[in-house]
Structure 1
Amino acid sequence: MSKSVFISILEKDEAKGKGLFQTVSRYGLGVNGHFWSDNLEKMEWAGPIAELDRPETGVWLIKGGRASFENPDIRFGLGLLAAAVQARRGLGFPILCICDDGELATAALPTTLRGAEVVEESKLGVKLAAKANMPIKKIDAEYRFDLYALPSLGLWIEVGPAPGHEWNGALLGVCGGEISAHGVGSAGQLPERCVLNYPMKGLKMELGGREFVGWAVKNALGEKDSYFVKVGGTPDALIFGAFPDGDDVELFSLQLR
């Protein structure tokens, strides 16, 4: 199976796109891509999920100017798209970034993009060929995280314990944005009906000087069970994990913007 590269160009520039597609093609790789849309209301960031999930897609390449990488709405969409791709392809799926006009510090990007590699465009072809044809590195996650961007139902976040682990209840909180619904069901699909044990709303927590508002349940979750939360707005960050046991609080956090 010949491998291909999916390209997200953060500014609409036909010449830039044509040149980049030609560079990739010269190295014997298939190429597909799009110009980025930061229309968060329509959740257009989710459009490439199916293409990035194709087994022949070996690399996701993001190219843009520094101002675009620093734009909060673009960052929000890129971070969520990366989360969706990693849920389907694994945390080791290769993501490469080209910054056209300056240095790009991946440590300042949304959490799901901090494993991306910044490359110089002059060295891009060899790097892409190597990355695309290598097996995806397996990285074990400490939790399960996925999302569903449904224009008719909104954005739903799915969290649950990693294989071999259990959670005695679950909690998810947002900093910015809001939560409007939650449920528990089988992993991988939004539940149509569910029974919630001791559902809780409006839990206030503080982490790193920021306030989070969370919802929670006491349902026991195994590796095939998930907690689903409907999130509105554009949260700056999420925290989630097993429901705290007394003063023993261990939650995971994701920076989204």
Structure 2
Amino acid sequence: MAQTAWLTWLPAEDADAPPLEKYVAAMNSSGYTLGGARWVDDLDKYAWGELASRLSSDEAGPETWVVAGRAEDFASTTIRYGLSMTLAMIQSLRKTPPHVVFLGLDGAPDAASFPTLWKPGKAIDGTAERWAAKLLIQCRGKSALAAPRDFRLNVIAHSMCGQWFEVGPVEGEWKGGMFGVSEGGAIQQHGVGKANELPKKTILEYPIDDIKAEVGGHEFNAVACQNKLEPTTSYFIQAQGHPQHLMFGGHPEDEDAEAWVVTLA
């Protein structure tokens, strides 16, 4: 049975890039059942959201997601941010996540420079001979995105409600939560509620705003609360802008709490 794949083409229509048709033909001839679309680079309108919803579906989502671009496309902060948001949704919502491939149209992408959520993806040289056949062979079995993590990270974004990040434990509990954004972002409000569902109202226990912290050479503006967080409950944070990094974890006063820094762009 043919593997299903979705091709996201990063170069703009007027960009100096190889012809899209060449890559579509190569994947079709290698046995893929292929769908796809050009990337829309518009963060203010959450243009990545439609793609993220499609790829996050276990029923309709593909087995492999191929992101094709040039070095300059993969270096664009707006593209990196949008793809990171898409990957956050996929990893959070999909039980059988797809293989993710970053296909370099001008050589293999620099995997060492990838943002955090890109790391499980494969970097493949799209100028090499028989690259599509190699891709088909490498994308068998379980996706690296299915590897267990110590935290949950999701994003909910829409023009009506804005941009919300959602974090919480995969198992066990956190004795409260903390969440911070670095340059490019600003926290508007925070709350606690049922996982994967924005809370209509919330009561925060001992909330703290405007926490200043420096982690890994990055300055963060953070908030915190002491509401207990479990796998079925989440900490929701509304943020403006496009923060380059996130910092989150258990409450800072809990000696056993862990914290993570995730680079988005």
Partner of residue 144, structure 1: 152
Separation in 2, partners of 1:189, 1:162: 16
- Percent of matched pairs sharing the same residue: 29
Alignment of 1:227-246 (within 5 A): 227-245=235-253
Separation in 1, partners of 2:158, 2:230: 26
Q: For the Cα contact (< 8 Å) 1:144–1:160, is it kept in 2?
A: yes
Partner of residue 220, structure 1: 228
The 3-state SS of whatever aligns with 2:196 is coil
Structure 1 pair 227/29, CA: closer, same or farther in 2 (3 Å)?
A: same
Partner of residue 171, structure 1: 178
Q: For the Cα contact (< 8 Å) 2:249–2:257, is it kept in 1?
A: no
- How many pairs were matched up? 256
Q: Does 1:85 align with 2:87?
A: no
> Post-superposition shift, 1:103?
4.1
Q: For the Cα contact (< 8 Å) 2:111–2:119, is it kept in 1?
A: yes
Structure 1 pair 21/54, CA: closer, same or farther in 2 (3 Å)?
A: farther
Residue identity in the other structure for 1:41: D
> Post-superposition shift, 1:247?
6.1
Separation in 2, partners of 1:130, 1:108: 25
Structure 1 pair 38/116, CA: closer, same or farther in 2 (3 Å)?
A: same
Describe the superposition over 1:53-74 as per-residue Cα deviations: whole angstroms up to 9, x where unpaired. Answer: 3435101101111111111111
> Post-superposition shift, 1:49?
1.6
Separation in 2, partners of 1:143, 1:182: 18
Residue identity in the other structure for 1:235: P
Alignment of 1:89-238 (within 5 A): 89=94, 93-121=98-126, 122-131=129-138, 133-136=140-143, 138-163=146-171, 165-176=172-183, 177-238=185-246
Separation in 2, partners of 1:245, 1:135: 38
Choose 85-94 or 3-12, whichever is displaced more.
Answer: 85-94
Q: For the Cα contact (< 8 Å) 1:91–1:139, is it kept in 2?
A: no
Partner of residue 43, structure 1: 46
Give the gaps of 5 or more residues in structure 2. none
Q: Does 1:67 align with 2:72?
A: yes
Describe the superposition over 1:80-123 as per-residue Cα deviations: whole angstroms up to 9, x where unpaired. Answer: 11111111236963111111224422221111001211112333
Separation in 1, partners of 2:152, 2:206: 22
Q: For the Cα contact (< 8 Å) 2:63–2:97, is it kept in 1?
A: no
Q: For the Cα contact (< 8 Å) 1:167–1:220, is it kept in 2?
A: yes
The 3-state SS of whatever aligns with 2:54 is helix
The 3-state SS of whatever aligns with 1:118 is strand
Q: For the Cα contact (< 8 Å) 2:48–2:82, is it kept in 1?
A: yes
Q: For the Cα contact (< 8 Å) 1:178–1:231, is it kept in 2?
A: yes
Give the gaps of 5 or more residues in structure 1. none
Q: Does 1:29 align with 2:36?
A: no
Separation in 1, partners of 2:243, 2:71: 22
Residue identity in the other structure for 1:187: A
Structure 1 pair 135/115, CA: closer, same or farther in 2 (3 Å)?
A: closer
The 3-state SS of whatever aligns with 1:145 is strand
Separation in 2, partners of 1:41, 1:244: 32
Q: For the Cα contact (< 8 Å) 1:169–1:218, is it kept in 2?
A: yes
Structure 1 pair 236/79, CA: closer, same or farther in 2 (3 Å)?
A: same
Q: For the Cα contact (< 8 Å) 1:178–1:233, is it kept in 2?
A: yes
Choose 191-200 or 131-140, whichever is displaced more.
Answer: 131-140
Instruction: Give the TM-score normalised by structure 2.
Output: 0.89
Structure 1 pair 233/102, CA: closer, same or farther in 2 (3 Å)?
A: same
